[in-house]
A and B are shown apart, each in its own frame.
Chain A
Amino acid sequence: MIEAKNLNLYYGSFQALKDISMKVPEKSVTALIGPSGCGKSTFLRTFNRMNDLIAGVKIEGDIIVDDMNIYAKGVDVDSLRKRIGMVFQKPNPFAKSIYENVAYGMRVNGVNDEKLIKQTVEESLKQAALWDEVKDNLKKSAYALSGGQQQRLCIARALAVEPTILLMDEPASALDPISTSKIEELIHELKKNYTILIVTHNMQQAARVSDHTAFFYMGSLIEFNETKTIFTNPENQQTQNYVTGRFG
């Protein structure tokens, strides 16, 4: 279970998140939606402490991951990020071969067993639904892949270090419809083993891929509910106005 408790986040004097409390269901997909600047990406980045890297950020409240407050003193952030993988809007493969991109996390973590690395690379590429397309070209540069393949490679790279949670920040917004569809199908498969949080501007995508949806507006969590409810009968008028395109 991962959970935000009374979370407030400030960029200097600007409050970007206002008293957010939310329990994220395990092994399911939770979509974060809302207009630009609503705080959804900021909220996503609190789960792997990515906001720590931004100057002037102040965070109050708790983020609980596996019964541990990840903002407590003494938390090993590197170890935390091994458990919480992240996929970004634009595919960001390293200037290495396909194989080495996936192996990278393990090597950084000190794994030397080549047999284990090989096995994990194959498993991760299979989980990311990329293996069949690249198995004969593992030594090829990752840059030779299409945008959609690069994004699935980045997902494979995230999976290789065996996280339990995957954070996805608009993972398909830079991709064509066919690649987007493959990523969405992949997300649907991955939720069997991972807890996934996804930020998306595409409401149809949120509807298609997620089990639960959280609607953010001006830093506040307006409604968090089953996706079916959010898109058929939202409880809050602001949510209704947003999902029907009446504002935002």
Chain B
Amino acid sequence: MTHFEEELKHLKQEVNIMFALVRTQIAKAKDALVRLDKDLAREIIQTEKRVNAQELNIDRDCENYFALYNPVAVDLRYLLAILKINNNLERTGDIAEGIAKFLIQTQQSFDQELLTSSQLLKMFDECVSMMYEIEDAFENEDTIKARSIFKQDEVLDRINLEANKNIEAYIRLHPDNIEQALYVLSTIRKLERVGDQAKNIAEEVIFYLEAKVLKHTKKV
């Protein structure tokens, strides 16, 4: 293994740390919401600082590798992809933090009926599953698995599309709980963006491994 290959291996380890950090943030956001666990919400906000620091760390490594090694071909695509994946992961971390910040202000536990009818918890589970899958695709350089993310994202899109109707129905039945219903709707929108970030990461994995640009195209 050449010196540069060792550096790229080190970078991959750093990105894996970022993946694990962000995936855990989303999983914790779900737990904090279900249990209205404000301590856990505070932990998420605290950990977000680590996510931000790791983003800067990876960015700095990439800058150094560009400047010092003049990467070409697959190495160039790899570094370009990592810069974007890093950004996608950091934004995913921001979403978890956004959910946690609201939970700290919330006084009352969430109505189970609302959580079920809105499919919010299913959405959380789907997001965490997508994060696992895309992390695995990146780790094992598996473009088949990366492509499976596009299908999973359709589940999130469908829940998001049905959200207005579901929330409206809930509000009609529970006009005294509008605030919670609106918060759940807003969280569904946030999680839909988590799916988009995972999809973007999948596109970057395919870009670096196959040199194919899937952005703004029909996914096949």
Given the complex of chains A and B, what is the CA–CA distance between A14 and B53 in angstroms? Answer: 52
Assess the A228–B70 pair: CB atoms within 8 A.
no
Chain A residues contacting B67 (CB-CB under 8 Å) are: 207, 228, 231-232
Give complex CA distance A231, B64 in Å: 8
- Bound complex: CA of A5 vs CA of B69, how far in Å? 32
With contacts A184-B3, A185-B2, A232-B63 known, what are 9 further pairs, Cβ within 8 A?
A204-B70, A207-B68, A208-B3, A208-B4, A208-B69, A227-B68, A228-B67, A231-B68, A232-B67
**Minimal Cβ-Cβ distance residue in B for A188:** B3
Taken together as a complex, chains A and B put the C-alpha atoms of A4 and B208 apart, in Å, by 46
Kindly state whether residue A146 has any CB partner on chain B within 8 Å: no
Give Cα distance in the complex from A227 to B68, angstroms: 8
Residue pairs across A and B with CB atoms within 8 Å: the count is 24
CA distance A103 to B68 in the complex (A): 37
Q: Give 19 pairs: A residue, B residue, CB < 8 Å, sorted on A.
A: A181-B2, A184-B3, A185-B2, A185-B3, A204-B70, A207-B67, A207-B68, A207-B69, A207-B70, A208-B3, A208-B68, A208-B69, A228-B64, A228-B67, A228-B68, A231-B67, A231-B68, A232-B64, A232-B67
0/1 string, B1-20, CB within 8 A of A gives 1: 01110000000000000000
Q: Which residues of B contact A185 (CB under 8 A)?
A: 2-3
> Ordered nearest first, which 8 A-B pairs have the shortest CB separation?
A231-B67, A207-B68, A188-B3, A232-B67, A228-B64, A204-B70, A232-B63, A231-B68
Which residues of B43-71 are within 8 A (CB) of A? 63-64, 67-70
The number of residues on chain B lying at the interface, defined by a beta carbon within 8 Å of a beta carbon of chain A, is 9
Counting chain A residues whose Cβ lies within 8 A of the other chain, the interface size class is 10 to 19
**Which chain B residues lie closer than 8 Å to A228 at the CB level?**
64, 67-68
CA distance A185 to B2 in the complex (A): 7
**Which chain A residue has the least Cβ–Cβ distance from B70?**
A204
Nearest Cβ on chain A to B144's Cβ, whole angstroms:
33
For A227, give the chain B residue with the smallest CB separation: B68
Bound CA span A72–B4, Å: 42
Chain A residues in 8 Å Cβ range of B3: 184-185, 188, 208
Interfacial chain A residues near B2, Cβ < 8 Å: 181, 185
- CB neighbours (8 Å) of B64 from chain A are 228, 231-232
Determine the distance from Cα of A208 to Cα of B2 in the docked complex, in whole angstroms. Answer: 11
User: Considering only CB atoms, which chain A residue lies closest to B66 in the complex?
Assistant: A232
- List A residues 199-216 near B (Cβ within 8 Å): 204, 207-208
Give bound CA distance, A208 to B71, whole Å: 11
- In chain A, positions 166-193 with a C-beta closer than 8 Å to chain B are 181, 184-185, 188
Expressed in whole angstroms, the minimum distance between the Cβ of B58 and any Cβ of chain A is 15
Q: Which of B99-116 contact A (CB under 8 A)?
A: none
Please give, as numbers and ranges, the residues of chain A lying within 8 Å of B68 by CB-CB distance. 207-208, 227-228, 231
Chain A, range 202-248, C-beta contacts under 8 Å to B: 204, 207-208, 227-228, 231-232
Task: Give the shortest distance, in Å, between B2 (CB) and chain A (any CB).
Answer: 6
The B153-204 residues at the A interface (CB cut-off 8 A) are none
Q: Once bound together, how far apart are the Cα atoms of A28 and B3, in whole Å?
A: 14
Min CB distance, A114 to chain B, in Å?
Answer: 36
Q: What are the interface flags for A5-45 relative to B under an 8 Å C-beta threshold, 1 for contact and 0 otherwise?
A: 00000000000000000000000000000000000000000
A208 to B70, CA, bound (A): 9
Q: In the complex, A32 Cα to B70 Cα: how many Å? A: 19
Chain A min CB distance to B73 (Å): 14
Task: Give A206 Cβ to nearest chain B Cβ, in Å.
Answer: 9
Question: Roughly how many angstroms separate A125 CA and B200 CA in the complex, as a whole number?
Answer: 49
* Distance between B8 CB and nearest chain A CB, rounded to angstroms: 13
The contact string, 1 if C-beta is below 8 Å from chain A, for chain B 92-133, is: 000000000000000000000000000000000000000000
